[in-house]
């Protein structure tokens, strides 16, 4: 067998006839292939063309592969020699006597069949050089959100506390999706009370005793009642007795509402007007109420309003009255508004195309942070668009929305955007809400779709959490990258972008980039992948991805979405990190199946840097310092983005479109260099 292989080797290397010099170079030789079997060798090379024959000799360190065409052999030599981490030393199998003389093989474009992954990658213009994924410096977010409780905070201005005494709309900045729920440590602890025990203030005169207010007694045991219903004043000595009396209390609560000593009561006036002029107040909600969502702050914080018919009429009347006031104020020629914290004004409400009432929580330069009182939406509003509300009764009219924090929402990052989208779809639905009220805070809030329907909190958790793939059917399913959606690149002048990869810029003048407006999307996706990666780190199920399949890969300490670009018998396939624009080699032990939830839109793009090709043709030398100065990675920069259409090379082909990035500073520099060169 060995003698036969040696004879075949000599036949490949020796030129027996002079006529064989014209035979196409379809055979290549590879070295350092000890770890590859013949099957692995075939699997490695079949991505470059049709393998007609392959075998190994000399204790397996040397191998020969024959392709069906010279073009395929040429591509194989180029790709195998550029494969980082290996030393195949691929070359054409040439006659022995001419081995010392270099044979120049013309490099031509490869004719690939329609279904090959090489053509798909060519259409997507992958950067084929291997490089590390960039650790992106995501810009700090300044997302606005209302606080998780309603109690006044010492950090707020006195004017805001006066206008909004319970801080319905106190705003602060967040850097991530908030997952906090109201403080539930303030709930009352049950106290053992002896039945029939009578309590009073002893050792005090009448004047001193009057300062403590009336003594309240538990409705169940007549003991000292320190917890009471904020609606009717019914007192209880413990939570256990409150639950015991719940049914009887629900029947008598509406009919028995005395004025409470420790809170300002809200007397009802016609048209829903507020008697406490200069303050925002609202009515209490029943513990079990039908509500509608007016605004979604995060995946676990929403604003709701009562769906009661009487409240609905009052709410709609307020919206109409405010819209009329805005239409009248637009015709005024008076002085412009100078907003102040705690002030209530009119601002455009785009969804309806009318003016709405806003509460200013912070003034900064030409913009103010505001909350739309009737909706609970948190926005930054231009001061020039604010209008005054002349009628005091309209300015301080009753508030109809309530901010609630849903209880039991998972802390997993997961698919938060799907949970938010689901809550937004529920805006038109009537939901049933249950909660507990502790010191003005809504706690243990649960929303339900219908009186006996499924709990919204549980649905949200299912949408956020991504279960690891464990079943056989899950592992048989796969996602092909070419079927995934890819966003269209933005175009125009002075667009803010960030360069993620420029590995092949000196070869094809391309970089991988992402719009700054999409960095938040990429950051959320990255965090969700890390959260899911923790679940499957110890899940060691063999996964060999198909060519072009989207998978999950661990590279370094992070997890990425990757596309299988090339498989090999060495268990280290080449993978394209589609969100970072770079190629890596990974072990099969670091590859997992990716759930369908992560097959979301790809928002990174590649683009040609304008002027580089011409500058290189003129002899301009570009080094890393030059690129760091004019085309830095991981920094926000402004560029002009246009589209260039490349005509088809042959009849029947489609025209290709390239994205061209023009960097103003780079263009000016290259132009000045060209002018100096012409002058000299």
Q: With 50 as the cut, is the pLDDT of residue 56 above it?
A: yes
Q: How far is CA 85 from the centre of its chain?
A: 34
| SS3 assignment, position 9 | helix
> Which pTM was predicted?
0.64
Token readout for 200 is 């009073």
Res. 609 pLDDT band, cuts 50 70 90: very high
Closest CA to 345 of 296, 294, 383: 383
Q: Which of 174-178, 263-267, 433-437, 675-679 has the lowest mean pLDDT?
A: 263-267
Q: With 80 as the cut, is the pLDDT of residue 215 above it?
A: no
Token readout for 379 is 């926005």
Closest CA to 468 of 389, 401, 533, 548: 533
CB contact set of 121 (below 8 Å; sequence gap of 6+): 128, 565, 576
Say how far apart CA 661 and CA 610 lie, in whole Å: 6
Say how far apart CA 421 and CA 299 lie, in whole Å: 9
Average pLDDT over residues 573-580: 92
Say how far apart CA 544 and CA 589 lie, in whole Å: 9
**The three-state (H, E, C) secondary structure of 415-427, written as one string:** CHHHHHHHHHHHH
What is the reported pLDDT for 251? 58
Q: Which has more pLDDT, 231 or 472?
A: 472
Contact 45, 76 (CB under 8 A): yes
Contact 530, 559 (CB under 8 A): yes
CA angle 350, 355, 346 (to 5 degrees): 125
Say how far apart CA 467 and CA 378 lie, in whole Å: 33
What is the reported pLDDT for 293? 96
Q: With 70 as the cut, is the pLDDT of residue 1 above it?
A: no
Q: With 90 as the cut, is the pLDDT of residue 470 above it?
A: no
Q: With 80 as the cut, is the pLDDT of residue 113 above it?
A: no
Average pLDDT over residues 114-129: 43
What is the reported pLDDT for 558? 94
Average pLDDT over residues 445-467: 92
- DSSP letter for each residue of 552-613: EEEETTEEEEEEEEE--TTS--EEEETTTTEEEE--GGGEE---GGG---B-EEEEEETTHH
| SS3 assignment, position 24 | coil
Contact 225, 272 (CB under 8 A): no
CA angle 377, 378, 379 (to 5 degrees): 110
What is the reported pLDDT for 680? 65
- DSSP letter for each residue of 399-465: P-EEEEEBTT-----SSHHHHHHHHHHGGGS-EEEEEEEETTEEEEEEEESSTTS-BHHHHHHHHH-
What is the reported pLDDT for 12? 44
Helix, strand, coil % over all residues of the chain, rounded to 5: 30, 25, 45
Q: With 70 as the cut, is the pLDDT of residue 102 above it?
A: no
Alpha-carbon separation of residue 263 from 230, 258, 281 (angstroms): 9, 12, 11
| DSSP label of 270 | G
Say how far apart CA 148 and CA 297 lie, in whole Å: 11
What is the reported pLDDT for 456? 95
Which class for 338: exposed (0-12), middle (13-18), buried (19 or more C-beta within 10 A)?
A: exposed
Instruction: Provide the CB-side half-sphere exposure for 28 (13 A, CA).
Output: 30
Q: Which of 56-60, 246-250, 363-367 has the lowest mean pLDDT?
A: 246-250
What is the reported pLDDT for 156? 59
Q: What is the pLDDT of residues 577-605, one digit of tens each?
A: 999 999 888 888 899 999 999 999 999 99
What is the reported pLDDT for 653? 66
Q: With 70 as the cut, is the pLDDT of residue 5 above it?
A: no
Angle between helices 416-425 and 456-464 (to 10 degrees): 150
Greatest mean pLDDT among 66-70, 106-110, 125-129, 252-256 lies in: 66-70
| DSSP label of 39 | H
CB contact set of 19 (below 8 Å; sequence gap of 6+): none
What is the reported pLDDT for 200? 54
What is the reported pLDDT for 2? 44
Q: What is the pLDDT of residues 334-360, one digit of tens each?
A: 667 889 989 999 999 988 899 999 999
Greatest mean pLDDT among 11-25, 137-151, 219-233, 395-409 lies in: 395-409
Token readout for 11 is 């036949």
Contact 454, 570 (CB under 8 A): no
Q: Which of 112-121, 178-187, 670-679 has the lowest mean pLDDT?
A: 178-187
Token readout for 121 is 């990658």
């Amino acid at each position: 067998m060995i003698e036969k292989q040696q004879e075949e080797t000599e036949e490949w290397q020796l030129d027996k006839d002079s006529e064989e010099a014209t035979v196409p170079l379809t055979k290549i030789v590879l070295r350092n292939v000890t770890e590859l079997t013949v099957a692995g060798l075939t699997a490695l090379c079949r991505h470059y063309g049709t393998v007609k024959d392959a075998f190994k000799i000399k204790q397996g360190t040397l191998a020969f592969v024959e392709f069906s065409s010279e073009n395929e052999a040429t591509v194989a030599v180029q790709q195998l020699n550029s494969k980082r981490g290996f030393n195949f030393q691929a070359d054409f199998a040439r006659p022995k006597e001419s081995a010392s003389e270099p044979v120049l093989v013309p490099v031509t474009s490869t004719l690939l069949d329609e279904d090959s992954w090489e053509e798909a990658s060519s259409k997507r213009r992958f950067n084929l050089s291997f490089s590390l994924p960039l650790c992106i410096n995501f810009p700090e977010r300044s997302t606005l959100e209302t606080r998780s409780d309603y109690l006044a905070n010492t950090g707020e201005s006195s004017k805001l506390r006066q206008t909004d005494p319970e801080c319905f709309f106190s705003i602060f900045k967040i850097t991530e999706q908030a997952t906090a729920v109201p403080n539930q440590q303030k709930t009352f602890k049950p106290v053992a009370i002896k039945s029939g025990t009578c309590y009073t203030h002893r050792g005090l005169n009448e004047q001193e005793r009057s300062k403590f207010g009336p003594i309240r007694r538990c409705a169940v045991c007549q003991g000292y009642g320190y917890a009471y219903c904020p609606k009717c004043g019914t007192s209880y000595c413990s939570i256990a007795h409150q639950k015991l009396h719940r049914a009887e209390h629900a029947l008598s609560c509406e009919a028995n509402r005395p004025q409470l000593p420790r809170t300002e009561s809200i007397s009802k006036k016609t048209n829903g007007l507020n008697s406490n002029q200069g303050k925002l107040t609202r009515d209490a909600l029943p513990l079990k109420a039908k509500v509608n969502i007016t605004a979604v702050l995060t995946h676990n914080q929403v604003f709701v309003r009562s769906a009661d018919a009487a409240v609905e009429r009052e709410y709609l009347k307020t919206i109409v009255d405010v819209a009329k006031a805005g239409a009248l104020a637009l015709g005024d020629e008076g002085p412009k508004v100078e907003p102040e914290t705690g002030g209530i004004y009119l601002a455009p409400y785009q969804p309806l195309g009318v003016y709405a009432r806003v509460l200013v929580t912070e003034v900064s330069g030409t913009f103010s942070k505001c909350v739309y009182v009737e909706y609970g939406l948190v926005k930054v509003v231009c001061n020039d668009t604010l209008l005054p509300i002349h009628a005091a009764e309209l300015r301080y009219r009753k508030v109809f929305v309530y901010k609630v924090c849903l209880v039991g929402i998972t802390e997993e990052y997961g698919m938060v955007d799907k949970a938010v989208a689901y809550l937004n779809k529920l805006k038109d639905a009537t939901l049933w809400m249950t909660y507990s009220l502790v010191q003005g805070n809504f706690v243990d809030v649960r929303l339900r779709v219908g009186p006996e329907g499924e709990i919204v909190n549980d649905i949200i958790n299912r949408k956020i959490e991504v279960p690891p793939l464990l079943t056989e059917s899950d592992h048989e399913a796969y996602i092909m990258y070419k079927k995934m959606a890819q966003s269209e690149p933005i175009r125009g002048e002075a667009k803010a972008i960030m360069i993620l990869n420029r590995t092949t810029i000196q070869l094809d003048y391309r970089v991988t980039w992402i719009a700054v407006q999409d960095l938040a999307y990429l950051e959320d996706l990255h965090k969700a992948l890390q959260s899911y990666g923790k679940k499957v780190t110890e899940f060691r199920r063999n996964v060999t991805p198909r060519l072009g399949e989207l998978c999950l890969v661990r590279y370094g300490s992070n997890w990425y979405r990757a596309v299988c670009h090339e498989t090999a018998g060495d268990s280290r396939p080449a993978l394209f990190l589609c969100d970072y624009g770079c190629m890596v080699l990974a072990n099969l032990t670091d590859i997992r199946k990716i759930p369908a939830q992560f097959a979301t839109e790809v928002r990174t793009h590649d683009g040609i840097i304008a002027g580089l090709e011409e500058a290189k043709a003129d002899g301009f030398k570009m080094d890393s310092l030059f690129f760091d100065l004019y085309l830095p990675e991981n920094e926000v920069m402004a560029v002009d983005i246009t589209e260039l259409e490349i005509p088809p090379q042959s009849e029947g082909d489609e025209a290709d479109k390239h994205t061209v990035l023009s960097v103003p500073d780079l263009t000016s520099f290259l132009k000045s260099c060209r002018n100096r060169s012409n002058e000299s």
